[in-house]
Homo-oligomer: A and B are copies of this chain.
Amino acid sequence: MSANVPAIPSEAGSLVPTHWYNIAADFPEPLPPHLHPGTGEPVTVEDLIGLFPRALAEQELSVERYIEIPQEIRDVYAIWRTTPLVRATRLEKALGTSARIFLKYEGVSPVGSHKPNSAVAQAYYNRNEGVTKLTTETGAGQWGSSLAFAGALFGIDVEVWQVRASYESKPYRRYLMELYGGRVHSSPSELTEAGRAILAADPETTGSLGMAVSEAVEVAMRDDATRYALGSVLNHVALHQSVIGQEALAQLQAAGFDGADVVFGCAGGGSNLAGLSFPFLREVLAHGAKTRIVAAEPVACPSLTQGEYRYDFGDFSGMTPLLKMYTLGKDFVPDPIHAGGLRYHGMAPTLSHAVNLGLVDAVAIEQDAAFHAGILLARTEGIVPAPESTHALAAAYRYLAESDRDETIVIGVSGHGQLDLPAYGGFLDSYPR
Binding site for B on A (CB under 8 A): 75-76, 78-80, 84, 86-87, 89-90, 108-112, 116, 149, 152-153, 157, 171-172, 175-176, 178-183, 375, 378-384, 418-419, 421-422, 424-425, 428, 431-433
Per the bound structure, the CA–CA distance linking A277 and B204 in Å amounts to 55
CB-CB under 8 A for A379 and B181, given A418-B172, A418-B418: yes
Are A381's CB and B431's CB within 8 A? no
- Nearest CB of chain B from residue A114's CB, rounded to whole Å: 14
Question: How many copies of the chain does the oligomer comprise?
Answer: 2
Which of A75, A84, A87, A182 has the most chain B CB within a 10 Å cutoff? A84
Cβ of A78: which chain B residues have Cβ within 8 Å of it? 86-87
Which of A153, A382, A384, A433 has the most chain B CB within a 10 Å cutoff? A382
Cβ of A431: which chain B residues have Cβ within 8 Å of it? 181
Per the bound structure, the CA–CA distance linking A172 and B153 in Å amounts to 28
Are A425's CB and B172's CB within 8 A? no
Cβ of A176: which chain B residues have Cβ within 8 Å of it? 384, 418, 421
Cβ of A171: which chain B residues have Cβ within 8 Å of it? 422
Per the bound structure, the CA–CA distance linking A80 and B82 in Å amounts to 11
- Nearest CB of chain B from residue A36's CB, rounded to whole Å: 35
Chain B residue, CB-CB nearest to A381: B79
Option from B75, B183, B379, B418 in Cβ contact (under 8 Å) with A419: B418
Option from B109, B153, B422 in Cβ contact (under 8 Å) with A90: B153
Q: Which 8 A-B pairs have the closest CB atoms?
A: A110-B382, A175-B421, A108-B108, A152-B379, A149-B382, A172-B421, A110-B383, A183-B433
Cβ of A87: which chain B residues have Cβ within 8 Å of it? 78
